[in-house]
Structure 1
């Protein structure tokens, strides 16, 4: 086991997304997962039905206790939901983990359409965390919200990179067509395009959380950003392809496809 990943995100009781998906992913890729829970959600594969916010001071306490004891080789951030929580997390990072690389998944809307980030908090996310990220992993709608308008993938990636992160992985799953095109743009480098066949399935719950945590695990284990992205994409594609078929809506992935049953 190698690579300590502190995950700062919300909980999904159905196990497909959020903290639960993050822990499975980090473990399946050989890392050590730790968590600071930012919100409790009531959800399943059919949607999000309620959100119970964790007090910001308690989020900070969770983060500081883990960082001061075990430490972290990478921090993955998911659902933060409010400007106050964003400010709290940013303050802890600045004081307690200034040099730890950050993978930021700007979670804004759940798969079923429920808003997971207050619209007023987008400016805080841009001001406090986007520029701190080693890599940010928005989907097309999230990138448009961060950039302030729509555009093609290449221009969106450039505008998000201009906000200050070291790299952007623009996820193309929300696009049209038989292929999914992701764009990786690192500072000082030319954009690189990754194309995969679009899998015809409804079992895609938690793909964004899973991909970001897989990248974070690679970064924590010393991989360069591109290598971490390549491995993470391969892991997620196989997790979708072998999804167990649970639930009536957007079902979960097979996070454990790398794991051999214990005899």
Structure 2
């Protein structure tokens, strides 16, 4: 008898997709996301957006895939499987990001799209200079379920012309009219380690449960993919963020190296 069920997935696991770059060290991007999905007992598909040459400490080269190549990978998966949630990480540019979001929604408007806006590699390589002054970025926000910037990323994303004099929390509140915003606390000068979820007129904090952590390559990828998995499992957004926070802290403290272990 087959263990395959199109409604829920293999052995009743929901389907999710990671759309991200291929990091050969498997600390970040596609390979890391799939390890995280497996630990959460969801069935993860992977769609590649870029081929990188990197380790946990050095970023050397990137070859981008065009939007047509990304959507070509997505199409047969979306046609065959009921996808519950999608995590998007590293992607070539805003045009590609918008096209991919619209492509996903054209198959199912209820797909939950989680964007981890990766602007710079942990080793220092800068990928993008996106900001809210872009009309394309505004369109992207309206198609997302959740965006997960850290403090430094949000400072760049908010732009220099629009909302220049607003506090970071005010910017998040404005953005949350389009999609939920999880402001990660890893680089926050005032709330270090505290993540803050903004949903329209509501705000919720998720404080750190650990006094010390060991930094990891790709920790932002892991948090966003953990939240994506929890959403696919049917949890609310606040609960998914809370459980994602617990998972990332276990991941950070799984060892004292830059490459973490995924454990359910």
Question: Which category describes the TM-score, using the shorter chain as reference length?
Answer: 0.7 to 0.9
Unaligned runs of 5+ in 2: 1-11
TM-aligned CA deviation for residue 6 of structure 1: 1.1
Q: Deviations over 1:29-56 (max 9, x none)?
A: 1111011111111111112110011132
TM-aligned CA deviation for residue 177 of structure 1: 7.1
Q: Deviations over 1:58-113 (max 9, x none)?
A: 11111111110123011111111213422431331232232211111111111122
TM-score with structure 2 setting the length: 0.86
Q: Deviations over 1:209-252 (max 9, x none)?
A: 1000100001111100011111111011001011362xxxxx12
In 2, are the aligned partners of 1:80 and 1:117 still within 8 Å (CA)?
no
What SS class does the counterpart of residue 125 from structure 2 fall into? Answer: coil
Q: Structure 1 residues 233, 33: closer, same or farther in 2, change over 3 A? A: same
Q: Aligned equivalents of 2:165 and 2:249: distance in 1? A: 27
Q: Is residue 138 from structure 1 mapped to residue 153 from structure 2 by the alignment?
A: no
Q: 1:219 aligns with which of 228, 231, 250?
A: 231
Worse overlay, 29-38 or 118-127:
118-127
Worse overlay, 70-79 or 92-101:
92-101
Unaligned runs of 5+ in 1: 246-250, 259-263
Instruction: State the match for 1:186 in structure 2.
Output: 199
Q: 1:241 aligns with which of 233, 242, 253?
A: 253
Q: Deviations over 1:191-213 (max 9, x none)?
A: 11122145353x32111110001
Instruction: State the match for 2:187 in structure 1.
Output: 174
Q: Structure 1 residues 78, 124: closer, same or farther in 2, change over 3 A? A: farther
Q: Aligned equivalents of 2:167 and 2:194: distance in 1? A: 12
Q: Aligned equivalents of 2:191 and 2:240: distance in 1? A: 25
TM-score with structure 1 setting the length: 0.86
Moved over 3 A (4+): 118-122, 149-153, 176-179
TM-aligned CA deviation for residue 157 of structure 1: 2.1
Q: 1:253 aligns with which of 234, 246, 260?
A: 260
What SS class does the counterpart of residue 19 from structure 2 fall into? Answer: strand
Instruction: State the match for 1:261 in structure 2.
Output: none
**Pairs aligned (count):** 248
Q: 2:169 aligns with which of 147, 154, 165?
A: 154
Q: Structure 1 residues 90, 113: closer, same or farther in 2, change over 3 A? A: same
TM-aligned CA deviation for residue 179 of structure 1: 4.3
Instruction: State the match for 2:65 in structure 1.
Output: 54
In 1, are the aligned partners of 2:22 and 2:51 still within 8 Å (CA)?
yes
Query: What does 1:1-263 align with in structure 2 at a 5 Å threshold?
Result: 2-119=13-130, 123=134, 126-148=137-159, 149=164, 152-162=167-177, 164-165=178-179, 167-176=180-189, 179-189=192-202, 191-196=203-208, 197=210, 199-201=212-214, 203-243=215-255, 245=257, 251-255=258-262, 257-258=263-264
